Amino acid sequence: MTSERKNGTGSKSGVSRRDFIGRVGSGTVGAALGGAAIKPQATSASQSDSLPQMTLVVNGRSERLSVEPRWTLLDVLRDRLGLMGTKLGCGRGECGACTVLIDGLPRYACMTLALETEGHQVTTVVGLMDGEELGPVQRAFVEEDAFQCGYCTPGQVVAAEGLLRENPHPNESEVRAGMSGNLCRCGAYKHIMNAVRRAADTGR
Q: Where do the domains of the chain lie?
A: 3-36, 45-201
Q: What is the pLDDT of residue 50?
A: 85
pLDDT bracket for residue 203 (50, 70, 90): confident
Flag whether pLDDT at 139 surpasses 90.
Answer: yes
The pLDDT of residue 127 is: 97
Structure confidence at residue 5 (pLDDT)? 38
Confidence of residue 142 (pLDDT cuts 50, 70, 90): very high
Per the CATH hierarchy, to which homologous superfamily does domain 45-201 belong?
Answer: Beta-grasp domain (3.10.20.30)
Strand, coil or helix: what is 56?
strand
pLDDT at 175 over 70: yes
- The pLDDT mean for the chain works out to 84
Number of C-alpha atoms within 13 angstroms, CB side, residue 31?
A: 6
Report which of 182, 170, 199 is spatially closest to residue 99, judged by C-alpha positions.
182
